[in-house]
Structure 1
């Protein structure tokens, strides 16, 4: 872990929930550098970016911290698909990142993995002036679309009170709905596997087109798995965060 230090805690950000802070070595907590919040994927936790299965994501998160940016990963309510509770957890996490951990006041960057992209984007939609940029890793862009997948349908329905309705929940919780009004000017960078069938590239291309010139949707070789993250251009992502800090 050359160049970074980690802090794992329970209950320090939200009651009963885990958090992992990945900090630049000799971090001074003096408000000098923008914070980055990692939003985990389905079935993940705050430790998702640090476990052995997701070593490639750890490589990316470590590189971000080595570049001087404090990174915080939290449980964010669990598998709740960007619902209002998840969005509220991000607000709490931002306060901890900028308060206790000493990140720069004001805007934060968000790194959303798969399901966690919904949390990142829904928070950004509600807090656009406080969002520096969003990095999407295999990000779910259309909640209504993935809700049709039997693998995730029960979990999504439970997160939205029993049944997800795009008409009812979409305007606040589905990035694919009312996109231009939500995300005008948002700096958004997306990477996913070219063969991803869970969060397919056409949904990212549509979202990028709706956001406008500040959004870019890229593919790399791979599927919807951790191996694909190893194909991301790490330095380009770090540079994108730095340019928008």
Structure 2
């Protein structure tokens, strides 16, 4: 097929939206998936892509989405997020379920559904956006860090299981990126969300999108296994150089 295709989940905002734009610039026909279909349609119209409603926590939604994707060269697993900053002692089980359903089982569902098409492309690529939280534990973050560790292990396991198949796998683990991430984590509390980035120069969605595009355009024999990217002002998940 002459036109290479990419699938981006969580594409209605942030990293997913920026990644869809960047891959479209590189000549890919991009299928964008998320729950906010109005935003997706505006994005698809802008980039000449295809908007498809997607809830990665639903088997039925993922199945319908995958059936509508005719072929796939690239899958960008970007759907995910965090909820709350509770200690283990005060853990909200509903928040944990949401984080595990979205980050872990959501990645599993969509990857499993599209894997045959990625293999059939003859040059497939799976990019999973994890987090520095996939490498570190931090106080009050056990729900998110455990989910990101699990998502990352799922992705890393595929590297061995697909060895010898025409599919590359890249894990991109960002640090602090100023998107809707913290707004979701804090249930829409804008003041609390903005405080996360106060006094630092955080990454922005475009920074990650450009890395995805770079990975996508490596030769088929080149596999960039893991890329950890942080702001200069960040050392670890909870360690920043903040300016007053």
Q: TM-score range by the shorter chain?
A: 0.3 to 0.5
Which is higher, the Rg of structure 1 or of structure 2?
A: 2
The TM-score, its normalising length taken from structure 1, stands at 0.44
